[in-house]
Structure 1
Amino acid sequence: MTPIFKVGDKVINAHEVVPLLADYQLLPQLIREIVIDQAIAEVECTPQEIQSVYQQFFQQNQLTPANLPVWLQQNKISKEQLESKLLRKLKLEKFKRLTWSNKIESYFLKRKGQLDRVVYSLIRTQNPGIAQELYFRIAEGEKSFAELAQQYSEGSEAQTGGLIGPVEINTPHVKIAQMLNSGKPGQLWPPTRVGEWLVIVRLEKLLPAQLDEPMRQKLLNELFEGWLSEQVQQKVSFPPFNGQNEEEIANQSS
């Protein structure tokens, strides 16, 4: 047995590490990071790119080279560890761009229907009579949706006058999302059963997704995460540890 470290009176031996990581649900993250390290090992960064990532770090943390030592001490990290962390982040982002940048446009078109955002108003109640009455009062303009939502809605949306969003169109309950996806701004739906609730919904705004820089980064991350999940499934195998077979440890890490 080879001791690795000690916690209180408990000595952790080498053969115990992987089963412990699996037991505490830490093994999946470790595997991910190892797969990432293998993927970015050959990525080269220019001096300009390295300088840029340092500048971003200093700006984000409101630091200068003069007060960096204090920050390092407060965060219990060495300068070498910080440099390694920043370089790894840079190489990972460059790996994403090199691998998937030319696929972003087609992926955006494929995903656009789910990326469009909406602003909508919602009232929910469990009382059918109240739901019907509120719907007619809104439809006839007797009172505003916001006033009635504040007074009668039984969910947290009452605090915002029933207003929700902007949110991606697939964020609400699937039944509400289908209504919003087929509607036009200003459309009001009569009381509709959604689970235990009767809901009154009005579409306020439809905000079509745009392929701007934040959206590009979001899609780049999605493509990377999909690839990473596949890599973890394909590449990882487990020899027996401490009486556990490969299947048992794999199940613990999933």
Structure 2
Amino acid sequence: MIEFKGKLISFPEVITYLKNNLQLKGLCSQILHQKIIHQAAADRNIQITPEEIQIEAEKLRYEKRLFKASDTLGWLADNLISSDEWEAGIRDHLLSKKLAEHLFGKEVERYFWENKLNYDQVVLYQITLHDQNSAQEIYYQIEEGELSFYEAAHLYDVDETRRNRCGYEGKLYRWSFEPDVAAIIFNAQPKELLVPMKVNNSSCIFLVEDFISAKLTPEIYQEILYKMFQEWLLAELNYMLYA
């Protein structure tokens, strides 16, 4: 039984909820992933020390602003876990990171250089509309100087968040786009307004602000490492289930 805010919830009720909401399969996959990680780490004699757990716990406390012991105890109780269970979760998280580094840390740089073009970025503004005729009309108004791109984005983009940002979409990798769209965007010039094009059943007007050449930053290193590790986990899970 699980006690939550004074109410008891049985484990069969938890399982039924997960099944009814199509969440049980994902949970089972995550549990098997953890088993794979534990076994692979044991096979390679990869361990997590109490000191490493303590350092990570202190970092998490700081991030969650748990400055007093009572704050931490209250947070643990609110999340229905004990201090031992929290430390076990930290250990699993650190073990995954250390195993990923052990397996693929030396391969990340090679992968990056082999796929460097995909990690080029564009600083992009975008207006998305439902139909091509509207996009073409707005494009001509911007071209003729009747209104600025940013005004048009604020007035007409179908996405409210992007309207509030006057069309700013952000810094996007080449691999974020379909190949034909990426080819057009990454062959444009900085500050160039692109003619409307069809993207996922919508019509988009792009304004290319600038380009950022790919560099193996710590963030990209972690992205590639995570990608390689997740692909490995999936392959190991398929082998476990179907071999």
1:63 aligned residue: 66
Please point out which of 100, 109, 115 is paired with 1:111.
115
Measured after TM superposition, the shift of residue 96 of structure 1 is 1.4
Q: Is the 8 A contact 2:53 2:87 kept in 1?
A: no
CA distance in 2, matches of 1:207, 1:110: 18
Q: Deviations over 1:126-173 (max 9, x none)?
A: 253x54443333334443111123334445444432221122233245
C-alpha distance 135-71 of structure 1, shift in aligned 2 (>3 A): closer
2:4 aligned residue: none
CA distance in 2, matches of 1:197, 1:165: 19
CA distance in 2, matches of 1:205, 1:60: 34
1:54 aligned residue: 57
C-alpha distance 112-98 of structure 1, shift in aligned 2 (>3 A): same
Q: Is the 8 A contact 2:121 2:212 kept in 1?
A: yes
C-alpha distance 24-84 of structure 1, shift in aligned 2 (>3 A): closer
**Secondary structure, in 3 states, of the residue corresponding to 1:136?**
helix
Please point out which of 167, 183, 200 is paired with 1:162.
167
CA distance in 2, matches of 1:27, 1:159: 40
* Percent sequence identity over aligned pairs: 26
Please point out which of 88, 92, 101 is paired with 1:88.
92
Q: Is the 8 A contact 1:175 1:194 kept in 2?
A: no
C-alpha distance 38-65 of structure 1, shift in aligned 2 (>3 A): farther
Please point out which of 198, 210, 221 is paired with 1:205.
210
Measured after TM superposition, the shift of residue 47 of structure 1 is 5.1
TM-score, structure 1 as length reference: 0.73
Measured after TM superposition, the shift of residue 230 of structure 1 is 0.8
Q: Does 1:139 align with 2:140?
A: no
CA distance in 1, matches of 2:158, 2:50: 58
Please point out which of 43, 58, 68 is paired with 2:46.
43
Flag the structure with larger Rg: 1
Please point out which of 66, 77, 99 is paired with 1:73.
77
Q: Is the 8 A contact 1:188 1:201 kept in 2?
A: yes
1:31 aligned residue: 32
Q: Which runs of 5+ in 1 are unaligned?
A: 1-6, 12-18, 239-254
CA distance in 2, matches of 1:36, 1:81: 18
**Secondary structure, in 3 states, of the residue corresponding to 2:191?**
coil
CA distance in 2, matches of 1:151, 1:224: 43
CA distance in 2, matches of 1:31, 1:151: 49
Q: Is the 8 A contact 1:191 1:199 kept in 2?
A: yes
Q: Does 1:189 align with 2:194?
A: yes
CA distance in 1, matches of 2:207, 2:147: 14
Measured after TM superposition, the shift of residue 107 of structure 1 is 1.3
1:245 aligned residue: none
Q: Does 1:178 align with 2:179?
A: no
TM-score, structure 2 as length reference: 0.75
CA distance in 2, matches of 1:127, 1:236: 47
Measured after TM superposition, the shift of residue 61 of structure 1 is 2.6
Measured after TM superposition, the shift of residue 73 of structure 1 is 2.4
C-alpha distance 146-56 of structure 1, shift in aligned 2 (>3 A): same
CA distance in 2, matches of 1:37, 1:140: 63
Give every structure 1 segment of 4 or more consecutive aligned residues whose post-TM-superposition deviation is greater than 6 Å.
none
Measured after TM superposition, the shift of residue 175 of structure 1 is 4.0
Aligned residues: CA RMSD = 3.2
